[in-house]
């Protein structure tokens, strides 16, 4: 096949039917789980002032290297959103809703990353955020909702990793200790991790390079730096998860890629995915973010799940197939097409899904399309039927479509069609 002149940019994809129906169903299931727990949907713009995302922190690649940004015609420095947490906090500061503000969202995010399976430059997330409630059981509630959602999809190979980064002062003391530790052992650190150390010592813990592993394994642990308040918060979170019977693994190296976290951090990993892209989703507490965007001191907690990646995990586990979107009726009209135009219109208006063939093709070719459509019924109009004011109704899902030719088919008055089909379907 000739290579077309225009194709999607690297890391960007077209989602075609029937896969697109699966995406929509994914979001519907997430909406059901969230709305049943009192969360309302927030829809915010794809573009924000660059500054909104810069407040996430300047030690994260998402902000410093991966952002799509440009100056618009009005001279504003704009960014395509790389995530939604900062946008939700910006919306909170702008609209000041009553707290606790419990919201869910879905949409595309943009990060200029190296594309590979499960890592794209445009990818979709679903997520939830709660602003204005400082309660460890809220951290548990959102983790439980994510857990419920994976169950609703049918995914079973999901692990919940949990950590706490403590209060900001604990985190700062820990970062200081980590820096001192890695600097004292600099010669054993990979070149890439030496660079990371200069920017963000916490992220060295994320290194997957084998040469860094021994040093990371013996590094100071965040738990040694928790204040009594941070320790109590973390214990309550663990007790809540245990009370709900949700299994979790404490991972002291789980620092996450964004800088705004304090206290709880967590990630859901998929058992079938490669380790560099096995995070199906993640989140945590970010109590200072609203304030840094100009709002009042407001606690916040939330998570986001990657839609693209979670669907790969569904494929690997053979669960959550695309929903069937076949129409109920296919109209075959060999008299010029006007009958098909009217019948499909009448059926659709009555809530019966219907499709038809175009270009006045032969009966044989139209029946082929009818077979392919997956319709339960074919309604056939030839010149004899047209003259007699009748239609033929043929059941199509009788096993072998080709053998369904004449079996079970009936000729009825055109004026009785709607009632006949409504009865047959009920
Ligand atoms: P994140 O860990 O950057 O967190 O992204 C969440 C999920 O989005 C990841 O676990 C992954 O499934 C998916 N994801 C991220 N980057 C890509 C990519 N390039 N291609 C495909 N999927 C990707 C956040 O975005 C935070 N806003 C989560 C949060 C909400 N924290 C608190 N509230």
So what's the pLDDT on residue 28?
Answer: 98
CATH label of the domain that carries residue 390: 3.40.50.800
Same domain, 259 and 117: yes
Q: Largest Cα–Cα distance of the chain, in whole Å?
A: 95
Ligand 1 atom with the smallest distance to the CA of 111 is 19
Domain boundary among 276, 296, 317: 317
Ligand 1 atom with the smallest distance to the CA of 120 is 20
Same domain, 284 and 353: no
**Residue 283, ligand 1, Cβ within 6 A:** yes
- Domains contained in the chain, number: 2
353 inside domain: yes
Same domain, 405 and 256: no
**Residue 113, ligand 1, Cβ within 6 A:** yes
403 inside domain: yes
Same domain, 253 and 336: no
Given the structure tokens 């979709």, which residue do they identify?
A: 124
176 inside domain: no
Same domain, 361 and 286: no
**CA nearest neighbour of 236 among 139, 333, 113:** 139
Q: How far apart are CA 193 and CA 181, in angstroms?
A: 13
Same domain, 376 and 245: no
Q: How far apart are CA 115 and CA 100, in angstroms?
A: 38
Other beta carbons within 10 Å of 396: 20
Q: How far apart are CA 9 and CA 343, in angstroms?
A: 42
Ligand 1 pocket mutation, candidates 34, 105, 256, 309, criterion most atoms within 8 A of CB: 309
**Residue 253, ligand 1, Cβ within 6 A:** no
> pLDDT tens digits, residue range 188-207?
999 999 999 998 899 899 88
**Residue 203, ligand 1, Cβ within 6 A:** no
Q: Within 13 Å, how many C-alpha atoms sit on residue 115's CB side?
A: 12
> pLDDT tens digits, residue range 296-343?
999 999 999 999 999 999 999 999 999 998 999 999 999 999 999 999
**Residue 206, ligand 1, Cβ within 6 A:** no
Same domain, 252 and 335: no
**Residue 123, ligand 1, Cβ within 6 A:** yes
Q: What range does the domain containing 138 cover? A: 19-167+227-317
The alpha carbon of 256 is separated from its chain's Cα centroid by a whole number of angstroms, namely: 18
CA angle 86, 252, 180 (to 5 degrees): 90
Please check the confidence at residue 149 and state whether its pLDDT lies above 80. Answer: yes
**Residue 125, ligand 1, Cβ within 6 A:** yes
Which protein residue has the closest C-alpha to ligand 1 atom 13?
Answer: 306
Torsion (CA) 115, 120, 121, 124 in degrees, nearest 10: 180
370 inside domain: yes
Contacts of 228 (CB under 8 A, 6+ apart): none
So what's the pLDDT on residue 401?
Answer: 44
Same domain, 281 and 385: no
pTM of the full structure? 0.94
Ligand 1 pocket mutation, candidates 55, 103, 125, 274, criterion most atoms within 8 A of CB: 125
**CA nearest neighbour of 50 among 61, 40, 64, 31:** 64
Where would I find the beta strands (DSSP E) of 4-58? 40-41, 47-49
Same domain, 296 and 240: yes
155 inside domain: yes
Please check the confidence at residue 235 and state whether its pLDDT lies above 80. Answer: yes
Ligand 1 pocket mutation, candidates 306, 310, 312, 313, criterion most atoms within 8 A of CB: 306
Domain boundary among 317, 347, 382: 317
Ligand 1 pocket mutation, candidates 161, 282, 305, 307, criterion most atoms within 8 A of CB: 282
So what's the pLDDT on residue 211?
Answer: 92
Ligand 1 atom with the smallest distance to the CA of 113 is 19
Please check the confidence at residue 399 and state whether its pLDDT lies above 70. Answer: no
> pLDDT tens digits, residue range 93-135?
999 999 999 999 999 999 999 999 999 999 999 999 999 999 9
So what's the pLDDT on residue 262?
Answer: 93
Domain boundary among 297, 317, 337: 317
214 inside domain: no
**Residue 13, ligand 1, Cβ within 6 A:** no
Same domain, 333 and 383: yes
248 inside domain: yes
Task: Write down the mean pLDDT value for the chain.
Answer: 95
Same domain, 287 and 403: no
195 inside domain: no
Contacts of 169 (CB under 8 A, 6+ apart): 227
DSSP letter string, 319-378 = -SPPPP---SEEEEE-S-SHHHHHHHHHHHHTT--EEE--TT--HHHHHHHHHHHT-SEE
Same domain, 39 and 152: yes
CATH label of the domain that carries residue 125: 3.30.930.10
């Amino acid at each position: 096949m000739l290579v077309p002149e225009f194709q999607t940019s690297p890391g960007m994809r077209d989602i075609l039917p029937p896969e697109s129906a699966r995406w929509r169903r994914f979001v519907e299931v997430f909406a059901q789980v969230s709305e049943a727990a009192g969360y309302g949907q927030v829809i915010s713009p794809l573009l924000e002032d660059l500054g909104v995302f810069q407040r996430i922190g300047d030690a994260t690649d998402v902000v410093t290297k991966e952002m799509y940004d440009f100056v618009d015609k009005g001279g504003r420095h704009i960014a395509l959103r790389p995530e939604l947490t900062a946008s939700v906090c910006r919306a909170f500061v702008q609209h000041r809703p009553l707290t606790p503000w419990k919201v869910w969202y879905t949409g595309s995010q943009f990060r200029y990353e190296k594309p590979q399976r499960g890592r794209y430059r445009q990818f979709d997330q679903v997520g939830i955020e709660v602003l204005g409630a400082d309660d460890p059981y809220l951290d548990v509630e959102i983790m439980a909702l994510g857990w419920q959602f994976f169950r609703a999809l049918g995914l079973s190979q999901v692990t919940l990793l949990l950590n706490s980064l403590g209060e900001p002062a604990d985190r700062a003391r820990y970062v200081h200790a980590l820096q001192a530790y890695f600097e004292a052992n600099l010669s054993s650190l990979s070149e890439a991790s030496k660079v990371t150390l200069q920017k963000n010592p916490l992220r060295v813990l994320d290194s997957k390079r084998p040469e860094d592993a021994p040093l990371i394994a013996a590094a100071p642990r965040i738990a040694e730096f928790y204040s009594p308040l941070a320790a109590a918060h973390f214990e309550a979170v663990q007790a809540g998860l245990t009370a709900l019977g949700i299994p979790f693994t404490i991972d002291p190296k789980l620092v996450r890629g964004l800088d705004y976290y304090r206290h709880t951090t967590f990630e859901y990993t998929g058992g079938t995915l490669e380790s560099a892209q096995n995070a199906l989703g993640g989140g945590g507490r970010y109590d200072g973010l609203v304030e840094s965007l100009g709002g009042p001191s407001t606690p916040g907690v939330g998570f986001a799940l990657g839609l693209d990646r979670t669907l790969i995990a569904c494929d690997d586990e053979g669960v959550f197939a695309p929903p069937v979107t076949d129409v109920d009726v296919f109209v075959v009209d060999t008299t010029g097409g006007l009958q098909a135009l009217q019948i499909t219109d009448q059926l659709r208006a009555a809530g019966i899904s219907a499709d038809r063939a175009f270009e006045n093709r032969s009966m044989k070719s139209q029946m082929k399309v009818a077979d392919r459509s997956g319709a339960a019924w074919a309604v056939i109009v030839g010149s004899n039927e047209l003259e007699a004011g009748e239609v033929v109704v043929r059941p199509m899902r009788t096993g072998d479509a080709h053998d369904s030719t004449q079996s079970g088919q009936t000729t009825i008055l055109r004026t009785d069609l709607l009632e006949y089909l409504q009865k047959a379907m009920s």
